Homo-oligomer: A and B are copies of this chain.
């Protein structure tokens, strides 16, 4: 069974998009439910998803385990896996890691673009590395089965997290900086560390992460993936489209600025182009994954490799990552 899994989306969800997920044959998708939300606000976002699950039971359901991908295929639906792009949702309370995992959270970034209580974001001038709380939370995430996602974190924090974590780490949505040197793209050191430790790299389709932005060609994008595969192998590669479909520009403002500044922060955009950038014409929405498959074939990937990159590798990663490992309990680990 060739499963189709997207490692990250944050769309303005609607029945139309859920139907496009089905039309595109997407078996599972990691969706963002947190940018800057507190715990209580995160729960309100979960409640909104619960209403969608209740309203569209023939299209979507909440995913908790890797088995839910096969269940999605069997029942012709899409499994929705929750993730947070910021640890704001656990506030200053390590006990919320287990509570949110119970509610279905399966990915959490240790930081968004700024310094968090746990780690440093890629927009900060200085990266002091993991904080004291960050080290504790990594152990707790390892224990309960919550994936550490370093997509938006800075280099030193990221490398420390990969080293300290007992379980593989993911970068759900980014590209190599050697291809397109955006702040959000990843160094060869980070990519190599993910490859060596059984982690995952989800290649992004967010235009700011693409060489040539929305004008990037399918051939260029797939050749970039092929070069990563040649150097580090195919087993740790997936797709994380970062699709932000149908979102108003007010949402990208919230993503970038939250409540942390009164000024405008353009993030990866600019004063001249402050909103969501236009997607490449070969990937408009969830019905376009077939283009990706064709593009990967065209640059020389074998059918079995294409299947792995489009979903098989994520499925294997989900299977190793989402279950509890009580033996990883961090009793007495805190520094004196």
Binding site for B on A (CB under 8 A): 39-40, 43-44, 46-47, 50-51, 54, 57, 93, 95-96, 98-99, 102-104, 326, 329
Contacts and interface: CB of A to CB of B under 8 A. Distances in A.
25 contacts: A39-B40, A39-B43, A40-B40, A43-B96, A43-B99, A44-B93, A44-B95, A46-B99, A47-B93, A47-B95, A47-B96, A47-B98, A47-B99, A50-B95, A50-B98, A50-B99, A51-B95, A54-B326, A54-B329, A57-B326, A99-B103, A102-B102, A102-B103, A102-B104, A103-B103
Contacts of A98: 47, 50
Contacts of A329: 54
A48 to B, nearest CB: 8
Nearest to A43: B99
A157 to B, nearest CB: 26
Given A43-B96, A54-B326, A102-B102, 14 more contacts: A39-B40, A39-B43, A43-B99, A44-B93, A44-B95, A47-B95, A47-B96, A47-B98, A47-B99, A50-B95, A51-B95, A54-B329, A102-B104, A103-B103
A95 B54 CA distance: 12
A16 B329 CA distance: 23
A50 B46 CA distance: 21
Contacts of A50: 95, 98-99
A99 B33 CA distance: 15
A185 to B, nearest CB: 36
Contacts of A39: 40, 43
Nearest to A44: B95
A52 to B, nearest CB: 12
A142 to B, nearest CB: 14
A70 to B, nearest CB: 21
A136 to B, nearest CB: 14
Contacts of A96: 43, 47
A47 B99 CA distance: 7
A43 B51 CA distance: 21
A84 to B, nearest CB: 16
A98 B50 CA distance: 8
A218 B239 CA distance: 68
Contacts of A54: 326, 329
Nearest to A329: B54
A43 B98 CA distance: 11
Nearest to A50: B98
A54 B332 CA distance: 13
A326 to B, nearest CB: 7
A175 to B, nearest CB: 35
Contacts of A51: 95
Nearest to A104: B102
A51 B46 CA distance: 24
Cβ-closest 10 pairs across A and B: A47-B95, A50-B98, A102-B103, A43-B99, A40-B40, A54-B329, A46-B99, A47-B99, A50-B95, A102-B102
